[in-house]
Structure 1
Amino acid sequence: MTAIATTKTDRLLEGIRAGREMTRWQQLELLVRLSLPAMLAQIASIVMNYIDASMVGHLGANASASIGLVSTSVWLFAGLCNAVSMGFSVQVAHLIGANDEEGARSVLRQALVATFVFSVVEGLLGILVSPYLSVWLGGGAAIRGDSATYFAIFSLVIPILQLDILASAMLRCSGNVKFPSILNAVMCLFDVIFNFFFIYPTRTVSLLGFDFSMPGMGLGVPGAALGTAAAEILTAIIMVYYMLAHSRQLSIWNKGFGELRRFIPTSRVLSRAWKVGLPMAMQHVAMCSAQILTTMIVAPLGVFAISANSFGVTAESLCYMPGYGISDAATTLVGQSIGAARKSLARRFAFISVAFGVCIMTLMGILMYVCAPLMMAVFTPVQEIIDLGVAALRIEAFAEPMFAASIVAYGCCVGAGDTLIPAFMNLASMWGVRLTLAFTLTSVFDMGLTGVWTAMAIELTFRGIIFLLRLWKSKTFRE
């Protein structure tokens, strides 16, 4: 039985499933209603990450570099969790679009088991490689110990992170973007609070003319990892409970969990998840491997360059995270439209989403160019790091419009279940353009960190262009 629509967003989504005609204004309104919570959550997440990075940054350049060295590896492992989740959540979007909510719940049950097993294996792998990772990445002896500890703690909580990612993706694809967006933003607040106590030692704090003792564990970089782990555990508990007990389309709590065999993944569901998730996983491995190679290109440039590169990536995320929020909304809208057998509507949603994303990220790019010195000063008081980071951000600002096009267009393709060709496009762009240019500009022309970020800006512009061409010529959205 279809759940009763209770909000205007629900009613607009119900219009997709019911086959009602939608004006362009209604399509734009629905896109904004789904995008806005995700965008605000992404921005809140980045603001909190700014504070988080600033906490570590004030411990010194070595502390910053120890986390920056393994940050791309953290993205690699977290991205694999996301790819596995999307293999199942895209199926849920299609089933809900076809008004088959019981089928969506069946996929959810199987996804809980399949993704958890995957995450346990991945977490064990991360723990095993953590002592060697910083050495492989070319980190100096002064930062290897903290890097290894940070990555080991992250790996330990990967199964919990997987549950949070799965529940968040399932809720978004069901049309509920607001709750996971708000909760993920709150998770960042949890992260900062926990870090405040884990990173710093007990100290005297002055507030409004009063001095008082603030307790702390003084764990430094390992404390940052523990703070993030604690925040992820708390968030995952809330997210999974909400999905199982309160989601209109996905709740299985009140309906009974059913027999244990209903949780055993079937070949049909696994094959569909494999078709969508495997190209995403392969793409993510290859692209993160490219980012890790980029880190290895940066590492010989010194601690200041490593720190500036890491902080620059965090600073830039303020610009591109809204694009990922719009991409999430586009995945939901395109996925439900495809499930409802309305390919022309899916195509209209795709182009409206891309245009909206380009406009938002163009404005964010202008903001980043103007505010680059202030953004870098948030992270560190070291002037050499600030100067390198400002130069990098101002180069990258010019690539933001086409970066938006690639982000949102890829989200549209994921919603349609079209992940294989886009995966190869991302790989060709990253490996054929970015890495080649980065190596050439740093090794041959001796441009240092500026060369790495120039290569990045050129590659992102190229990637946006080819994704626009893919979206325009794709047969996926044609009736």
Structure 2
Amino acid sequence: MKTDPLAQLRAGAPLTTRQQLSLTLQLSWPAIMAKLATIIMQYIDAAMVGRLGAAQAAAVGLVASTTWLFGELSYAAAMGFNVLTAQRVGGGRLAEARNILKQALVLCLGFSVVMAMLAAALSGPLPGILRADRDIWQDASAYFLVYSLFLPALQLNNVAAGQLQATGNMRTPGICMVVMCVLDVVFNTLFIFPTGTIRLGSLALPGAGLGTAGAALGTGLAELVIALYLLHFVLRRNPVLRLQKGEPLRFNRTQLCTMLCIAAPVASEKVILTTAQIVCTAIVAPLGMVAIAANSFAVTAESLCYMPAFGIQGAAAMLVGQCVGAGRRQMARRLGWVTVLLGVVIMVITSGLLYLLAPQMMAILTPNPDIIALGTRVLRIEAFAEPLFGASIVAGGVFQGAGSTLIPTLFNLGTMWGIRIPLAWLAAPRWGLPGVWAAMCLELCVRGILYLIRMAGKRWLPVLEAQGAAHSVSAAEGGPVSTPPEGEMAGDGMPAVKDR
């Protein structure tokens, strides 16, 4: 009978280096495929809109960084609860994990409704705020308005998928993301182009002809379908988190405070990163429509290179979170390094492919030769930063799983606003878009080095507490007390954990 490696991890059984690597790969590949499917969906959107013309492509590219801001806030809200669930599952406190899921669904859905209202109100003035040409204002506003209306669907998707991953189920969210990609193609075909534009042999497919708004509508509907399925799966079919009779929703102040301590720095980090990207978009906008489109398409093409690292990040956060919940401090450190090194190796490979295939990747997105040439140039600059960028992405997941999110946020604040933005602002008038991307390349390298230095230390790991304190904390949260196996306490010296 084959032993479940995650069960061994939670039970305190020793894992060899080969087993650790095998477990990391086993959990990473579904997450990698899910992230690739997500970016392929964006690639499809960009390619379809790119066929409408440079103006429409520039319109979507203009608001892309603002959509990232709201999407990342959605992710941060869900992530705080997901880390708590992983830690409770790792400690065998399953009733608490189910209550955390219920709190996440109620509070995150309410948060997403507020975000949707704010985003919808921002859709009108946003193109003017970003200093764009008036010719693309209408398309840009329409795309962003439709995007904002589907933010609750995106939030439910993040919560349901993240909670499943916290239990070790990476496969179901991965498959669902691939299906979402297929649905996006179908819906985009129906909504973006007029009837008869797309043909299957002699059959002319129907179309709504909504243009850029149709691209946002197709993506939003695909997200909604998958969010509803994942919600059904986690509440009805997942053996750990499915609803149980006699377990009503209880808002737990201790858990919510812990969630905020984890999520708030991550949300701040996402705001720092995405607002800096919005500022970069404003720096690029005066360079002209070709530069805006090339910048947007290059960002989309680059995402294919680094999305595998985000897949490994999800596995890293879950593994480290469960190690923390099980009281396995040293195992958390070892698995952290295994995941980071795996991410760097994969990013070395993908960055080489990015450099070689940059012209072909741009050609898929647009037929415009000027946009292709400029996009190829900046992608080849960025390829040199990808390995260290990958290190920072995966290390970020390690720190999230351990609940150590403040220092990485400060790293991002310092490098984005202290290096990227000033250098991009100085370089844009003289060197154009390549100068902006050179500033980005330098900043990502510095960020990666800082994350690796943080990984090499031990301050991101939970500190020791006395056994009695651990029991009192567990009792205060209303859950069963989980005592780590004797061997693990001897090896890791960590019967309980505390955030640092």
TM range (shorter): over 0.9
For residues 234 and 55 of structure 2, the distance between their equivalents in structure 1, rounded to whole angstroms, comes to: 41
Question: What is the CA deviation profile of residues 414-461 of structure 1, one whole-angstrom value per residue up to 9, with x for unaligned ones?
Answer: 000000111111111111111111112123xx0100001101111111
For residues 204 and 456 of structure 1, the distance between their equivalents in structure 2, rounded to whole angstroms, comes to: 39
Shift of 1:385: 0.3
Shift of 1:152: 1.1
For residues 7 and 419 of structure 1, the distance between their equivalents in structure 2, rounded to whole angstroms, comes to: 36
Q: Please state if 1:49 is matched with 2:42.
A: yes
| 1:387 counterpart letter in structure 2 | A
Aligned to 1:147: 140
Shift of 1:476: 3.1
Quick one: which of 161, 175, 189 aligns to 2:168?
A: 175
* Aligned pairs (5 A) from 1:254-269: 255-256=244-245, 258-259=247-248, 262=249, 264-269=250-255
Shift of 1:229: 1.2
SS in structure 1 at match of 2:279: helix
Aligned to 2:206: 215
For residues 319 and 199 of structure 2, the distance between their equivalents in structure 1, rounded to whole angstroms, comes to: 50
1:301 to 1:455, Cα distance in 2 relative to 1, 3 A = same
| 1:349 counterpart letter in structure 2 | L
* Aligned pairs (5 A) from 1:302-381: 302-381=288-367
1:205 to 1:353, Cα distance in 2 relative to 1, 3 A = closer
Shift of 1:475: 2.2
Q: Please state if 1:469 is matched with 2:460.
A: no
Question: What is the CA deviation profile of residues 360-402 of structure 1, one whole-angstrom value per residue up to 9, with x for unaligned ones?
Answer: 0100000010000000000101011001100010001111110
1:271 to 1:20, Cα distance in 2 relative to 1, 3 A = same
Aligned to 2:444: 460
Compute the TM-score of the two structures, normalised by the length of structure 2.
0.90
Contact 1:205 / 1:211 at 8 angstroms: preserved in 2? no
| 1:316 counterpart letter in structure 2 | E
| 1:477 counterpart letter in structure 2 | L
Question: What is the CA deviation profile of residues 246-297 of structure 1, one whole-angstrom value per residue up to 9, with x for unaligned ones?
Answer: 1121111xx23744xx2x5332121011100001111111211100000000
* Aligned pairs (5 A) from 1:67-146: 67-146=60-139
Aligned to 1:163: 156
Shift of 1:53: 1.2
| 1:221 counterpart letter in structure 2 | T
Aligned to 2:11: 18
Contact 1:204 / 1:211 at 8 angstroms: preserved in 2? no
Q: Please state if 1:247 is matched with 2:238.
A: yes
Range with bigger deviation, 379-388 or 46-55 = 46-55
| 1:265 counterpart letter in structure 2 | F
1:194 to 1:439, Cα distance in 2 relative to 1, 3 A = same
Contact 1:332 / 1:415 at 8 angstroms: preserved in 2? yes
Shift of 1:128: 1.1
RMSD (Å) for aligned C-alpha atoms: 1.4
SS in structure 2 at match of 1:447: helix
Range with bigger deviation, 134-143 or 460-469 = 134-143
Unaligned runs of 5+ in 1: 1-5
For residues 104 and 51 of structure 1, the distance between their equivalents in structure 2, rounded to whole angstroms, comes to: 37
For residues 46 and 82 of structure 1, the distance between their equivalents in structure 2, rounded to whole angstroms, comes to: 16
Question: What is the CA deviation profile of residues 96-118 of structure 1, one whole-angstrom value per residue up to 9, with x for unaligned ones?
Answer: 11011111001111111111111
| 1:16 counterpart letter in structure 2 | L
Shift of 1:151: 1.0
Shift of 1:408: 0.5
For residues 199 and 279 of structure 2, the distance between their equivalents in structure 1, rounded to whole angstroms, comes to: 44
| 1:227 counterpart letter in structure 2 | G
SS in structure 1 at match of 2:202: strand
SS in structure 2 at match of 1:244: helix
Aligned to 1:451: 435
Identity of aligned residues (%): 45
For residues 80 and 373 of structure 2, the distance between their equivalents in structure 1, rounded to whole angstroms, comes to: 42
SS in structure 2 at match of 1:459: helix
For residues 44 and 156 of structure 1, the distance between their equivalents in structure 2, rounded to whole angstroms, comes to: 22
Contact 1:194 / 1:228 at 8 angstroms: preserved in 2? yes
Unaligned runs of 5+ in 2: 463-491, 493-500
Question: What is the CA deviation profile of residues 14-42 of structure 1, one whole-angstrom value per residue up to 9, with x for unaligned ones?
Answer: 11110000000000000000001111222
Shift of 1:474: 2.8
SS in structure 1 at match of 2:256: helix
Q: Number of residues paired by the alignment? A: 463
Contact 1:113 / 1:265 at 8 angstroms: preserved in 2? no
Shift of 1:48: 3.4
For residues 310 and 137 of structure 1, the distance between their equivalents in structure 2, rounded to whole angstroms, comes to: 14
| 1:266 counterpart letter in structure 2 | N
Shift of 1:43: 2.2
Contact 1:114 / 1:265 at 8 angstroms: preserved in 2? no
SS in structure 1 at match of 2:278: helix
For residues 245 and 187 of structure 1, the distance between their equivalents in structure 2, rounded to whole angstroms, comes to: 21
Aligned to 1:3: none
